[in-house]
Amino acid sequence: YCSYNIHELDEIISKNKKLKENIKEINVCRDGKSTRYSIGSMIVVEDFVLTAFSIFDENNCARLTINDYLSFLMRFWNEINSVYAQKKVVVPIFGSGITRFTNGMEDINENELLKIMIWTFKVSKIKFEYPAELSIIIHPDKIDKIDIFSLKEEEE
């Protein structure tokens, strides 16, 4: 649980030097926040990593293409290694919630998303040094959609 309120978080985000380098656009005309960051931009607040995961369209709907997803993951693995060095990293299956995938990927399932996450982690060549470790959390409602045996076979 984060101890900051939304106004405090806004201030932390707006003052972060690294995030300032990742601003794509300011004064975006839409509901909500008016600063747009590059996909995969991140900041650590307490024990939480806040990251720019999706792209908002002209109707303020968050959407993601498979290329955006791959770009996010590659950047995420590289960034997380530097900001969370030698700590345990726990993430969900990115994109398995309310993410709207586009360009033919509308029906991508949790098993495929997990495979993509694992593949991008491997090809990123990021090696967490002991005692760090990576855990991908699977929501209990989604565990039946994951083929653990095929993931294990692909590992071997």
The pLDDT tens digits for 52-67 are: 998 887 777 888 889 9
pTM: 0.83
Residue 1 maps to a domain: no
Pair 108, 95: CB distance under 8 Å? yes
Residue 99 maps to a domain: yes
Query: 88 is in which domain, residue-wise?
Result: 6-155
Q: What is the CATH number of the domain that holds 112?
A: 3.40.220
Residue 61 maps to a domain: yes
Pair 139, 96: CB distance under 8 Å? yes
Number of domains in the chain: 1
> 155 pLDDT exceeds 70?
no
- Give the C-alpha distances (Å, rounded to integers) separating 40 from 53, 71, 79, 140: 6, 8, 8, 26
Pair 116, 73: CB distance under 8 Å? yes
